[in-house]
Structure 1
């Protein structure tokens, strides 16, 4: 009987958050994902008769080792551990905003108390006293709720103590907080043991990424970036960092073997980044590697989005002298889990995924190998219940289907293979390297790196050179380059810039050398970002006709550039480009600019969701102008010609704080969404320059 072999590869990774000179963790994401995801995700593979692969970055593993101890040197954790009555003003200034670093819909709003405190915080006017609106008891309640919100569904459901805190909801004690922290740190200390157990049981395979998550092909040869994007602008002078690349590979494997006690059979290169030279080097150490379908399309010179080419994705490819197999990620299926299914009912999403697997099975006249590869940690807070309901529904159904078999890549090494002669250099984002090089800020970071490397080469004989080179290797990680430029946004971009430069600075300090002055100059330029935009300055009175008739029509409105990524993750296609919005005494107006060539099909529509606080939905079909709406048509207008322009009566909104989101849908699949996760939150009650936030 023909089979569809389904392999899930979950990539576990966080940047290296430790400040070079002090050893302090400046951001708490390793701890937070440790209690929410790193035990949660493998648990399904114990409960269900399925198989999967977990890929670990060694730099994450060594950070998790630090978090086994409650005395970890983490800036936020140290403040949470303090008795709230002893907090100083400057500590409260840092602590309070941090305690709202959680998804509003799924993590904050599930608690009456947490949501009440959030509303008070977000509704308070910006002033010097904004951070001091809470008393000690309220800060303590915030701390406990923050920790509970970041705790995985399994841990919450299996701990009677945590369940009692959820029921209590407020007036927590310092003893409550200490007991909760003790449970959570205990869970983190069990992570490695749990993965070893599941690996020994044969339920999961463990694979690795080079040590500090570098873009391996760019270390080997920066010029390989031209293969997938011929007009990319590279740093003026670049170095081959062959030895550095091999250090990341060899030392990464050693660290992995030390922690898990097994030799990894496969590798997921950071960001799925590969090249001919990269895969050749991997073939001496591994039996398989994986990358993205865009790389396969470039390498074969075909468009894999075309239905007649699609089935070529679902094969095992054999590279070079047949020492290594290469599997290619189904971008569409992976992105459905990463970005789309969070907004669907769990059973509906699970059934949709299986329906799409059924289609692949039917179009292939061979046993297809379907590789679903994505982040194993960053998407789940955007699902209800940390995606527990979705995964439970999906895995229960997969177990019962005879035509699907879940497998690991190691089990597919003897499957029929196709020779792959050439690997065009690229990654899992756009099939190229523009996320990490090409923008002036990204290129400057590489130039800083090259200057430091040249100095370290001159100092090769120094007793501390190996320790200094370690900090250079940390700076070679992909994450720093990700946040430079204008393609991604985070309020913590300045921290990432500082961490990148602090590692390079520390390399000089270890060698008692003068630090070059340029390393003290921030690379990241402060500028207006999508997540902090001024309100409209004036009432606007546009004519809703699908055109912008003049510059003055939206003068004083607020403009949002939707091409900025509003999260730490990257979604595939960009259709929505910008949003202009404002209001007058009676109406809320919006003007949505988009890529017209990508929406001119019969089943393509834009969906506008309004939460106020009840959900209203308007769908506009581009081809025929058909409108489906939960709103009476005398309360809104929508016209599409050059832009999608609309007005909605203000009397529809039950509050002056309104959340909206847009998505483009075709054939039931979401092609683009803005914002990617959380809706835009706007205020309709005043005209001034105070900020509103996503």
Structure 2
């Protein structure tokens, strides 16, 4: 979907497999629900003229994908304004009609989801108090609806299959209950199915849909990287082998059917989600093994020996977050810059792992904003330094850094940044309301190129040899959590008289 992508050794093009899998999906839906499906979210929201024409020919009335695909198709952007409305909302918040590629094609309606709203549910609201999250979503939907003026607005909120609810308190029950309660009491909003929405708003017309998926309106996650392309080449080889050998005399129809099922499994998009640099999980080795096992089974079911290359793992070893403990006492100047090379020598360093994510967020939620957290201590207190990504600092003039230290006297420091400069610092002791900052130099905060914070032991109620502390730093924007350090939740600090052991 763009000219710069590196392609596999051979092109994989089998629309007949896509059609067969759609038919299998329709049959499965009919068995389970007793009715034929009217619409579909294609794998990864991936669409093209060819894919939509194929889906329409199989009887689908509507399909859905991401707003980025609509933006590329219309050569326009959808920008969120300060009041919550969206420029271009008159196009985004209505279904569009794709008439097909030729005379006689049935055509299909397309919904383009609001990427930000969908990502907030998928990746952000789970970290917020459920009722506050529900209120935030409700207000954002209302603001989106104002983008079309007096015309009806169809705001599509669609998650790409990942089960985000396991990350919510109570599996999202309180969030959903609160949200739908707000919708039910709002006379301006109505929750509808996609089929119902087709009757509520006039359609736009798209004679061509730019090929793309729900991520960046292209296919880069699934193709182009060395691991991705190798996986596609292995699938191509297996598909060619199946075509040459599935009709050989002597093969049982059961074995051929099993080989075809293994092929369809290997053609699924989930495998190349895990290959390449974008995503990783603790189960990388298992996924890699399963992919190669499914491909091997194609050969085995057709009474052949799998190629030796299927024994070789495709996925490279993961790079976990790196945490280097402190090696000595420090006493840097709290001024928001690295005053000299030596002032943070001896500090501990936590470097986030940006291959860890199993899901994929957007610009507000992807969580690649913090480069490193430095931490250390002196005889007087605790020092923290946060290095923020330069791109984040340029794009976000308003954000907030929240530091929590859980110890004998739990404290929280909220440092708002307004227009690129530090605003009034908020300070908590325990679960109380914010209190005035302690007098003197007990709490010091600075931000220029880096963020620096000093907390005196008198504030923490701790000191060398006396306590264990837990530390957490989080980055927020627009009242939404973007990233937490450490990814695992907390860093634990043993304050010893000699050195700190994290």
Q: Distance in 1 between matches of 2:334 and 2:23?
A: 61
Task: Give how far 1:519 is off.
Answer: 0.7
Q: How far off is 1:669 after superposition?
A: 4.5
Q: How does 1:390-429 map to 2 (within 5 A)?
A: 390-414=175-199, 415-429=201-215
Partner in structure 1 of residue 93 of structure 2 = 314
**Post-superposition offset of 1:318:** 0.3
Change (3 A) 1:636 1:485: farther
Structure 1 stretches of 4+ moved >6 Å? none
State the TM-score, normalized to the length of structure 2: 0.82
Report whether the alignment pairs 1:485 with 2:276: yes
| 1:329–1:617 Cα change, 3 Å | farther
Answer yes or no: is 1:594 the counterpart of 2:389.
yes
The structural deviation recorded for 1:520 is 0.7
TM alignment of 1:681-692, pairs within 5 A = 681-685=490-494
Identify, as 1 or 2, the structure richer in helix.
1
Corresponding position of 1:441:
227
Map 1:86-485 → 2, pairs under 5 A: 225-226=1-2, 230-284=3-57, 285-305=59-79, 307-321=86-100, 323-364=107-148, 365-374=150-159, 378-414=163-199, 415-462=201-248, 463=251, 464-485=255-276
CA gap 1:555/1:403 in 2 versus in 1, 3 angstroms: same
Query: What is the alpha-carbon distance in structure 1 between the residues aligned to residue 16 and residue 133 of structure 2?
Result: 45
What is the match of residue 625 of structure 1? 422
Structure 2 residue matching 1:233: 3-state secondary structure: coil
Structure 1 residue corresponding to 2:336, chosen from 546, 556, 561 = 546
Query: Per-residue deviation at 1:294?
Result: 1.0
Alignment check: 8 A CA contact 2:471 2:493 kept: no
Q: Distance in 2 between matches of 1:650 and 1:273?
A: 55
Q: Structure 1 residue 661: deviation in Å?
A: 3.9
Is it true that 1:610 corresponds to 2:407 in the alignment? no
The question of whether the paired residues in 2 share the 8 Å contact of 1:606 and 1:664 is answered with: yes
Structure 2 residue ranges without an equivalent (≥5): 81-85, 101-105, 429-436
Higher relative contact order (CA 8 A, sep 6+): 1
Question: Over aligned residues, Cα RMSD in angstroms?
Answer: 2.9
Contact kept, 8 Å, 1:660 with 1:679, in 2: the verdict is no
Q: Which has more radius of gyration? A: 2
Q: Deviations over 1:514-560 (max 9, x none)?
A: 12111111111113223xx3432623635544344666645774342
Residue 665 of structure 1 and its aligned partner are, at CA, apart by 0.5
Query: Displacement of 1:416 after TM fit?
Result: 1.2
Q: Distance in 1 between matches of 2:237 and 2:339?
A: 51
How far residue 303 of structure 1 moved from its aligned partner, in angstroms, is 0.9
SS of residue matched to 1:432: coil
What is the CA–CA distance in structure 2 between the aligned matches of 1:381 and 1:678, rounded to whole Å? Answer: 17
Q: For residues 302 and 534 of structure 1, what CA distance do their matches in structure 2 show? A: 43
Q: Which residue of 1 aligns with 2:432?
A: none
Question: 360, 365, 372: which is aligned to 1:579?
Answer: 372
- Structure 1 residue 577 displacement after superposition: 4.2
2:360 is the counterpart of 1:570: yes
TM-score (norm 1): 0.60
Number of residue pairs matched by the alignment: 455
Extract unaligned runs of 5+ from structure 1. Answer: 1-224
Deviations 1:191-246 (A, max 9, x none): xxxxxxxxxxxxxxxxxxxxxxxxxxxxxxxxxx32xxx32222233321222222
> What displacement does 1:572 show?
0.8
Change (3 A) 1:527 1:563: closer
Where 1:430 maps in the other structure, the secondary structure is: coil
Deviation at 1:265, TM superposition (A): 0.3
SS of structure 2 residue aligned to 1:526: coil
